A = this chain, B = another copy of it.
Amino acid sequence: MVVGKVSRSVSALTASEGKARRSIGARRNPASAEAILEAAEAVLQEDGYSGFSIEAVARRARAGKPTIYRWWPSKAALLIDVYQRQKHIDYPDTGDLERDLAGFLTGLLAHWRDTPSGAIFRSIVAEAQSDEAAAEALAAYAASRRVEQGKITERAKTRGEVADDVDPLQVADMVSSYAWVRLLTGRLDEDEAKIRAAVRIIVHGIKT
């Protein structure tokens, strides 16, 4: 059983229309926003984080730099938007905590490994180390993800699988951290048995 799947529609047309987009009046042009996000994604995928610049995105999107700065105050904000467009992680709900956490973890690592998401998220974390705005955005995002992922343990707690004094957010934190560090140190292709072992340790550690 899967909850929370969010897909996105890719309109790959916009990027190579040939003709320039125009203003549609005194309001944001969604076509421009779309083109910019797609260009950003493409630049990241092709040139990596080191080649990712506002200029490069603007060039590729055939957009003016001010148009980007108007809507995304920093490189990080753009990165996060790109990441959000990509991401659709499943939060499993099988009725078994260990299975749920292991499913989440393997799903997340596979998602990072098999889509551009991993590279993008690495970029965001890197950016957050030098840009205060990025750090805040990342912190907010991470917190919201912890809440979401914490629900897995919360459900198990409701089922009586987990000790009363356990904080689901803390569990989410531990599980996420394990995934983050794997991403940041290039160890996404972790043996699934190891992942299960790690999850088992935590689940054993918190059960009633």
Contacts and interface: CB of A to CB of B under 8 A. Distances in A.
Interface of A: 48-50, 122-123, 125-131, 135, 138-139, 142, 166-167, 170-171, 173-174, 176-178, 180-182, 184-187, 194, 197-198, 200-206
Counting every copy of the chain, the complex holds: 4
Contacts of A123: 129-130
Nearest to A119: B129
A155 to B, nearest CB: 18
A181 B176 contact: yes
Interface centre among A48, A166, A201, A203, by most chain B C-beta atoms within 10 angstroms, is: A201
A105 B22 CA distance: 52
A56 to B, nearest CB: 13
Count chain B CB atoms within 10 A of each CB in A126, A139, A171 and give the residue with the most: A126
Contacts of A129: 49, 122-123, 125-126, 184
A128 B184 contact: yes
B170 A197 contact: yes
Nearest to A64: B26
Contacts of A126: 125-127, 129-130
A201 B166 contact: yes
Contacts of A166: 201
B186 A174 contact: no
Contact of A181 (B130, B131, B181, B206): B181
B198 A170 contact: yes
Given A130-B48, A130-B126, A170 B194 contact: yes
Nearest to A130: B50
A97 B123 CA distance: 36
